[in-house]
Structures are given as structure tokens and as C-alpha cells.
Structure 1
Amino acid sequence: MLCFPLYSGLTQICFKSKQACLSLSLISIPTSMAIKTTGFLTGSLPEELMQILVTLASTWEDVNDPNEIKVKPLSGAMTNEVFQIIWPTEKGDLHRKVLVRIYGEGVEIFFNRDDEIRTFECLSHHGQGPRLLGRFPDGRVEEFLHARTLTADDLRDPEISALIATKMREFHSLDMPGPKTVHLWNRMRRWLRKAKGLCSPAEIKEFGLANLDDEIQMLEKELTRDDQEIGFCHNDLQYGNIMMDEETKSLTLIDYEYASYNPVAYDIANHFCEMAANYHSDTPHILDYSKYPDVEERWRFIRAYLSSIDDEPSESEVEDLFKDVGRYTLANHLFWGLWGIISAHVNKIDFDYMEYARQRFRQYHLRKPQLLGPSLAPLNDDDNGF
């Protein structure tokens, strides 16, 4: 192993050979050396991050010039800004690549970044996802996965959908550190408090935030069962967070900012809700609920999920999870609705977060009587615009 300091103030960097490849241990930059994203927008890299990337590229013998860096913005991210970093190699048509993730503004409201990094590293240890190559205060450098990101249409492909179900079951079975308790409800309550503090009186009235504590409490009571399965959930399994190796058809789940222990039914419900989205369209905030999976698609997915590890499930087992998933869509609409409201106030990414939130709240109020019954009609209808 070869270890040396990169420059004054930077922690030691170590390289070791592994099957003719060189891997980089974690690189950190002092907090005082903050990275600015404006450099990406103009096509130039800030000096501190440039030094990390040049040092990394210097370990690759086939890279002609570590300083010859190309930057390609990747679309579809709504929490962070993501860029592909490319170096030409001696082989001409082949390139070395890494991924740089610049953390979005205000994301500390949604999750603890140190916890997310620990999750990232632990999942890497479990053979899940890309490796962490370097860190700086406003972002990190990750291994670039040579696989394609799924599209919105891919989620409806029966073969790919079955692969996702199997991969999700595998993910839920991971033994991750920390208490294996449900995080969903307390996280929603924290977000609600933050949303109330950010919103104008008109916005509080529009979304009915004054009474949402009662709504969350009611949902927790109605949806929680003693025998519900709790697993380590991704909680944001939209198509852009799933990558597929075209040769092996193996899937990799990426982006674990919201990952935590939760009811597995909630994670499946989130995935179904994401089928209404196309974040690469001209109107990425618009959700098309005509694309929400029909009964046959949902039943097939849940059967594939249950049968991927255990024996062939009984009809009653499939039906029980099917019903739980349907009911947890309500929690999912409120969860991402609150996320949209907060993001509209703190995030500068070009996305109409507030209109996105309106659609999620609208679906919540539309679906609630169907899933919980008319006796649990929306509280204080007059206090919101839905």
C-alpha cells in the first residue's frame, strides 16, 4: 500500500492494487474549503475538487492526462446535483469515469448527511451500490457504475418489474446497523414542523397543515399492525435510482438519502406511486396517475416479491400485502407532499416543488375514502384547497 499526503491540510490518501485496478480510500477536504457548484455550470471545476479528481486519475495508468477532465451534468436528480466526470484513455474509445454528487441546498432538513454516508459505506460493504471514493464538505465522489439507468417506461416492463421486486426483497433483508424500528412517522412529524415554519399563512391553509398532525396520528393508528414486516427500505425507489447491467440483467439500487427501517409495504407503495412520474419530461413535476399500476401489475409484483426468497406464497399472503401496500400509498403521498413543500422553500433546483406537493396532497384526499372508508373522510375539508 502506498500512502502520501495530497497537499497541506488534506487527510492522507492511500492506494492499493486490486486485480490491476487501483482503489482510492476516502479523501476529505477541510470544511473551510467549500466547493461551489457554479464551476460546474460554467464548465470549469473548483480547485479543491479538481485536486481530488486529478489525484484519483493519476492512479490509472491508461489515463493520458489526469488534468483533461470533461464534465457531463446528469438530469433527473431532485435532491442533489449530479455530474459524470470523464477522462480519455490511451484506448481512445474507452474512458475512465466517476460520479460527483453536489449536495442540494437545505437537504439537512430531510436527513442526516453523516448517517447517509454511513449507510452508503455499509451498503457498499454488503456489495450493494457504488463505492465511495472521496468526500468534500458539499458533496462526494463515487464509483461510476457501468450500467444504464432505468427509464419511466422500464418500470412497466413485466420482466424488469419482476427483477425490481426480487432486488427490493433482497434490499429489505439486509442487516443494517441501528435500531430496527419504523422511521416513517417521526420523520413526517419533523417535516411537518419544518413546513409550518417555512410556509406563509396562505400555504398553511391551502395544504391544511394546521390539522396535519391529527391526520398523521390517524394514519399511524390505522396502518400499523403488530405482525407487519419491517425491513431496511430504500424509500425512494423511482426509476432513476435503479441501474441495470444490460449483459447480466442484474440491478443496483442507488441514492440512499432516505433509506431507513420501515414497513416493507410502505416501500412497495412508494415504488408504485413513482410509476406516475417521468422526471425527464418537459414537465418533470407533473404526475400522471393513469400510469399507476393496475391491479394485475401490482398483484404480479407482490407475488414476485414474496416468492423471491420464500416458497411460493399463498393467495392470502399476497392479498394481505396487496392491501397493506394500497393503504400505505396514503402515507407516501403525505410524505412526499411535505417534502415538496419544504423543497420549494429551500432548494434551487429547477423543479416546481410546490405544484408537485399539490398533486401529492390531492391524491391523498382523493384516495383516502377509497382505502380507509368514508368514516375517515378528510379532516376539516374547509381548511384546505383539496
Structure 2
Amino acid sequence: MGFNFDFDLDRELFKELFNHWSNLNESHFAAKQLSGGITNRLLKVSVEEENGNMVHVTVRIYGPNTECVINRDRELQAIPHLSAAGFGPKLLGTFENGMVQSFIHARTLDASDMRKPKLAAEIAKQLKSFHQVDIPGSKEPQLWNDIFKFLKKASNLTYDDCKQQNVYNKISFKEVETELIKLKELTGQLEAPVVFAHNDLLSGNLMLNDDEGKYPSKDEQYHFFRHYLNPEKPNEVSDNDLEALYVETTCYMLVSHLYWGLWALIQEKISDIDFDYLEYFFLRYNEYKRRKNGCFSLAKSYLS
């Protein structure tokens, strides 16, 4: 999809960030909007240098008011350490409402890719390494702080559109709060380790050089777990360790539905991206309710 590139404004940005491009005129720059982002806007900017070489960078433009739900300082602190460990693009520069990063020549995965045994094993191996990256700063878990912050913000919104407001008014935030409290109590009994997590590791955020019912089966999850727990000798992972991780991830899957559901309500209010965030809230919350009883029964059986 094309993007209306404001050259006079944006070339000055690139001049400031990259001195070696300061003498290039408009004909050396081209920009294209990348699809998929529902929090930020992503642009691929191509620059033809004076020697004829083509350089590609990614410009990430933050969605309006996303600093309300994303700690940008923490994000900028983490990116260089993750990049040094081989994860994600390199940070090339920052500006008031975004950043410039190196461009990764790869395709994003889709849900069906993540069920392929070879790919699942590689993702598990890389995720294990990601969780072991030492990021400076607080090691206190942020998940529950963030999700209750989302709840507070999401439960005090008003929408200009009457139809949106009517849909929003049907949400029982007291019910959501009750579910969160029960989930926090349940997951607290699992003693899950605290790691630096991506927190949005859906298929579209995974890259590979090269609609329904796509949640992996238990066997597919166990295959993934073996390669996460012991990448070098996956077949030596014990049944007890597999079961423990299965229960842990199943419970936190429920947390994910509530986390991103509440996030969506806030995005509906603050984002100018064309996406039905209200519908997304109900999609995630209904999936939470559909899976809740089975997940709680599994955890309580395991803990008893």
C-alpha cells in the first residue's frame, strides 16, 4: 500500500538523523506503508545514496497517545540489548513520535506457519534465548500492574460515536475485574518465572527469511515445549516438566485475552488506525469465557 510521503518534512528528519544523506534531493527517497500494524504505523523508506547503493530503513510512527499504554523509555532501553543479542532490527535513530530502525528482509509468518514442527522448534529455541537476554532496569514483574492499569483506563472511557458508546456500555467491568482477580490468584500459585517477555508474539510479529481454529493442539504445544526447555536434547524433557509448562501457558493464555481485550478498548478511543477495536475486545473476551472453565479445571487438578 502506498503512503503519502511528506518529503519536505520527512527529509529534514533524515538529514538530522543521518548526516550522510543531507545533500540528497527528493528523487533519492521513496516511502511505502507496511501493512499489519494496529498500534503503530510502519513505513519502509528506501534511499538511493550518491554512489547508487540502495538503503532501506523502517520508520515506526507511534499511534496517538500510545505512551498511555506503552512505556516508550523502557522500550528504547531494551531495543539495543535485544538487537545486540540478535533479536529484531537495530535502532538507528529516534524522533518525537517514533523511531528509525534497520529494515529486515524477511516475511512475516502466518498462523499456519507456527504449526509446522520445524518452524515451531526454531521459534521455541529463539524464544528461550530471548527470555535469557539481560535487560537493565527493574526486574519486578509488570504484567499485573499493566493489566489493572488498562482496566482502570478502559472502564472510564466515553466515545463520540453513539453506536460505539452503546456497545461499550454493555461491558461489565465489574465482571472483568472479578475475572482478573481470580486469574491473578490462580497464576500466583504456579510460581512462573519472571523473564523479559515480548508480550505480543503473534505470528505477524515473527519474521522468516524465505481464521479460525488455529490454536495449536496439545501435541503441537508439547513439541514446542520440548524445544524450548531443552533445545539441544528436546526428547529428554520429562513428562512432569512438559505438564507444568502446559498448565502455566494455558493459564497465561487466559491472561492474554483479558490484557489485549482491555488494550483494544483504549485503542478504540485513542487510535486513528482503521481497525475495529471494539469488535476485537469482544473477540478476545468471548474466547476467554469459552476457554475459562477448562483452563481453571486443568490448573486446579494440577495444583491439587
Pairwise same-fold verdict (TM > 0.5): yes
Matched, 1:74 2:17: no
Closer/same/farther in 2, CA of residues 167 and 297 from structure 1, 3 Å limit: same
Aligned 8 A contact 2:112 2:214 in 1? no
**Cα distance in 2 between the residues matched to 1:102 and 1:300:** 37
Closer/same/farther in 2, CA of residues 199 and 297 from structure 1, 3 Å limit: farther
Aligned-residue identity in percent: 35
Matched, 1:295 2:213: no
- Partner SS for 1:82: strand
Matched, 1:151 2:106: no
**Cα distance in 2 between the residues matched to 1:77 and 1:334:** 20
Q: Which digits, 9 at most, give the CA deviation of each residue in 1:317-371, with x for residues without a partner?
A: 0111011111211111101110111111111101111101101000111111111
**Cα distance in 2 between the residues matched to 1:46 and 1:299:** 53
- Partner SS for 2:195: strand
Greater length-normalized contact order (CA 8 Å, ≥ 6 residues apart): 2
Matched, 1:188 2:147: yes
Closer/same/farther in 2, CA of residues 96 and 204 from structure 1, 3 Å limit: closer
Deviation at residue 84 of structure 1 after TM alignment: 0.3
Residue number in structure 2 paired with 1:347: 271
Residue in structure 2 matching 1:357, options 270, 281, 285: 281
Residue number in structure 2 paired with 1:26: none
Residue in structure 1 matching 2:206, options 236, 239, 242: 242
Deviation at residue 373 of structure 1 after TM alignment: 3.5
Q: Which digits, 9 at most, give the CA deviation of each residue in 1:264-315, with x for residues without a partner?
A: xxxxxxxxxxxxxxxxxxxxxxxx3411111221111111111126773111
Query: Can you give the 5+ residue segments of structure 2 that lack an aligned partner in the other structure?
Result: 160-164
Q: Superposed, which structure 2 residues align to 1:130-169 within 5 Å?
A: 130-169=89-128
Structural RMSD (CA):
2.7
Deviation at residue 224 of structure 1 after TM alignment: 1.6
Residue in structure 1 matching 2:229, options 306, 328, 332: 306
Closer/same/farther in 2, CA of residues 310 and 106 from structure 1, 3 Å limit: farther
**Cα distance in 2 between the residues matched to 1:318 and 1:161:** 16
Matched, 1:229 2:193: yes
**Cα distance in 2 between the residues matched to 1:110 and 1:361:** 19
Residue number in structure 2 paired with 1:52: 13
Higher normalized helix content (fraction of residues): 2
Residue number in structure 2 paired with 1:215: 179
- Partner SS for 1:86: strand
Closer/same/farther in 2, CA of residues 54 and 300 from structure 1, 3 Å limit: same
Aligned 8 A contact 2:3 2:31 in 1? no
Deviation at residue 45 of structure 1 after TM alignment: 2.9
Aligned 8 A contact 2:45 2:57 in 1? yes
- Partner SS for 2:200: coil
- Partner SS for 2:151: helix
Aligned 8 A contact 2:187 2:251 in 1? yes
Matched, 1:198 2:198: no
**Cα distance in 2 between the residues matched to 1:120 and 1:326:** 28
Closer/same/farther in 2, CA of residues 86 and 204 from structure 1, 3 Å limit: closer
Aligned 8 A contact 2:81 2:133 in 1? no
Aligned 8 A contact 1:66 1:87 in 2? no
Aligned 8 A contact 1:340 1:356 in 2? yes
Matched, 1:171 2:130: yes
TM-score for the superposition, normalised by structure 2? 0.86
Deviating above 6 A after TM superposition, structure 1's stretches of 4 or more consecutive aligned residues are none
Q: Which digits, 9 at most, give the CA deviation of each residue in 1:26-59, with x for residues without a partner?
A: xxxxxxxxxxxxxx84333352x31232466663
Residue number in structure 2 paired with 1:107: 66
Residue number in structure 1 paired with 2:162: none
Give the letter aligned to residue 79 of structure 1: T
Deviation at residue 180 of structure 1 after TM alignment: 2.1
Residue number in structure 1 paired with 2:5: 43
TM-score for the superposition, normalised by structure 1? 0.69
- Partner SS for 1:169: helix
- Partner SS for 1:297: helix
Aligned 8 A contact 1:54 1:66 in 2? no
